[in-house]
Structure 1
Amino acid sequence: MKVYKLETVQHLNVSIEKCWDFFSSPQNLETLTPNDMSFVIQDFDGKKMYPGQVITYTLKPLLGIKINWMTIITVSQENKYFVDEQRFGPYALWHHKHFFEPTESGVKMTDVVHYALPFGFLGQLANKIMVRNKLKSIFEYRHNKIEELFNLK
């Protein structure tokens, strides 16, 4: 299984508390997902993020095909980091780490995603042709939305 890595860094002009308040709420996932992906949370307990929390949702990531996805928050430390992992969904592996570090002017946010696709060589080809670029465009959208929400006020 070939594992890929995507890493992004962004600076937010807000306090660590305000940053954590936003990113620790699963309800804000929809805000950070491109509209054309039709992201809808199907089930979660309405609480702020905690280890063991399960979130299920549907989305249309490629070619308008609707998929079901379940993630679990495996670890979380308030104002510092959390990790979400796919339990069911399109990837053979999805492990997404979110780090938050206070800086003099706000917060440095780092995302590190390790992912793998099913289907061996066909999955590697799909990554090269479309998946990698789709993930990059999703993270670019997310970056721009975060800029709009936190840095352009």
Structure 2
Amino acid sequence: MRSSGERAVAGVTSGRIGPGEQVTWRARHFGVRFRMTSRITAYERPHRFVDEQLRGPFAAFRHEHRFEPVDGGTVMRDQVRFRAPFGPLGRLVEPVLGRHLRRLIEERNRHVAAAAERAAADLD
């Protein structure tokens, strides 16, 4: 995640994360540095998990990750629901934030897929 300098700095910072566990991310978006702490609020391995912001830049943030088996692999689907801070003023920028989040999650998913494929190749 070089473009945003995003990295895990507290809580679970490597390996698998599980039910009730937390991770704090540090990143820079739109030129602003921030920290966001999320907790895993739902965990149904291997089908889905949900992380929700405890502290951070959003008024609310919920990210559901779903995993569906397909021939020869897995499809991962994300659903993000968020509210920008600053009430009505924040709602004006939600379309911009939504597009930015979509690109960010797509980039992260490419990274996750590549890491999973490397791990699977190591098992062969």
List per-residue Cα deviations over 1:17-53 (Å, max 9, x = no partner).
xxxxxxxxxxxxxxxxx31211121112456221110
* Structure 1 segments unaligned to the other structure (5+ residues): 1-33
Higher relative contact order (CA 8 A, sep 6+): 1
- Counterpart of 2:21? 53
- Offset of 1:136 from its aligned partner? 2.3
State the TM-score, normalizing by the size of structure 1: 0.66
The answer to whether residue 91 in structure 2 is matched with residue 141 in structure 1 is no
Partner secondary structure for residue 36 of structure 1: coil
Which residue of structure 2 lines up, in the alignment, with residue 102 of structure 1?
Answer: 69
**Cα-Cα RMSD:** 2.2
Gaps of 5+ in 2: none
- 2:45 equivalent in structure 1: 78
- Aligned letter for 1:108? V
Distance 1:141 1:78 in 2: 23
Partner Cα separation in structure 2 for residue 50 and residue 148 of structure 1: 21
Match of 1:67 in 2: 34
Cα distance change of structure 1 residues 49 and 116 upon mapping to structure 2, 3 Å threshold: same
1:121 CA displacement = 2.0
Q: Which is worse superposed, 107-116 or 136-145?
A: 136-145
* TM-score normalised to structure 2 length: 0.80
Q: CA deviation at 1:144?
A: 4.0
The Cα shift of 1:147 comes to 5.6
Equivalent residues of 1:49, 1:76 under 8 A apart? no
Paired residue for 1:44?
11
